[in-house]
Amino acid sequence: MTRFIVGTGNHVYEVIHPFGNLPPGMTFGNTSHVATDSQARVYVYQRKDPPILVFDGNGNLVDSWGDGELMDGHGIFITKNDEVFLSDRDAHEILKYDTAGNVSLRLGTRERPALEAPFNHPADIAVTSDGEIYIADGYANSRVHRFKPDGTHVQSWGSWGVEPGQFGVPHGVWVHKDRVYVCDRENHRVQIFDTNGVYLSHWVGFFHPMDIFIDTEETVYITDQVPGMTMLSLDGQMITRIRTAANAHGMWVDIYGNMYTAGNEALVTKYKKIS
């Protein structure tokens, strides 16, 4: 295990890599994404059974679930009410679970891709405070889809291309207040829309931005394939930038300000906040 210090100002972290202790005979698969719940438990989404591994903050495995239910783990989002949303990328489906692994909602038609309609290898999920669901439908589509909390499709926007409002691969998505932020990975930018899909602006300066998170203090975290993590204010001004331990395919910030990243064969890294 390697430990080192990254960050500046109010964003200084001790890097703990790799994070997560498995029992003898158990190994990680490719780790796609990570999120934490209201108790700061860490949910690692991996591409093997069991697809969900749950750890405490010290890295002890406390639960696992999803065996045989998920084909290809990609994005995860956990709401403040501890609803767990997962994108099953190659099954073309979004699923909503409780923290015990029980399914309560399915979006999309399993194993039936749709061109520029829900879904064609969806990448990521974001859920608003009032329960609306936004999907970055990103690997074979170039769209963002919006759903009501009950799963009713409201609208979609975007097309393939490089112009404002178009996408290469919409890979990560986050909703904060009345803004939707989309990591347009192959176009090296983060695009910003209102919640009805109207293009507003975009940020550049990233190399294949992968994922985005906005915390309660309105700090924006964006990972890219430098590998790096950039923290910005909501007006797009850089606060600090760090080199991550590996490419961070997915990331999350827990209730204590600790960051977690997941990156395929690079497993999971914890960035323990120290200032």
Neighbouring CB atoms inside 10 A of 254's CB total 21
Phi, psi (deg, nearest 5) at residue 186: -75, -15
> 177 is written with which tokens?
């207040």
User: How many residues in total does the chain contain?
Assistant: 275
For residue 3, pLDDT over 90 is answered with no
Largest Cα–Cα distance in the chain? 51
pLDDT of residue 227: 94
Average pLDDT over residues 227-252: 96
CA pair distance 159, 122, nearest whole angstrom: 15
Across the beta sheet with 93-97, what order do the strands follow? 73-78, 84-88, 93-97, 103-107
User: Which of residues 233 and 247 earns the better pLDDT score?
Assistant: 233
Closest CA to 212 of 169, 156, 251: 251
pLDDT of residue 265: 77
Instruction: For the chain, give the mean pLDDT.
Output: 96
Summarize pLDDT for 29-70 with one digit per residue, the tens: 999 999 999 999 999 999 999 999 999 999 999 999 999 999
> 40 is written with which tokens?
């700061």
DSSP of 40-71: --EEEEESSSSSEEEE-TTSBEEEEE-TTT-S
Average pLDDT over residues 115-130: 97
pLDDT of residue 1: 54
Percentages helix, strand, coil for the chain, rounded to the nearest 5?
0, 50, 50
Structural domains in the chain plus CATH codes = 2-273 (2.120.10.30)
Parallel, antiparallel or unpaired: strands 189-194 and 179-184: antiparallel
CA pair distance 205, 230, nearest whole angstrom: 10
Q: Which residues of 88-110 are buried (b: 16+ CB within 10 A; e: fewer)?
A: bbbbbbbbbbebebeeeeebbee
Average pLDDT over residues 149-166: 98
Rg of the chain's alpha carbons, rounded to an integer? 17
> 235 is written with which tokens?
């007006």
Which residues are paired to 251 by β-bridges?
Answer: 261
Average pLDDT over residues 2-14: 90
pTM greater than 0.95 (yes/no): yes
For residue 93, pLDDT over 70 is answered with yes
CA pair distance 134, 154, nearest whole angstrom: 10
Model confidence at 199, in pLDDT bands (50, 70, 90)?
A: very high
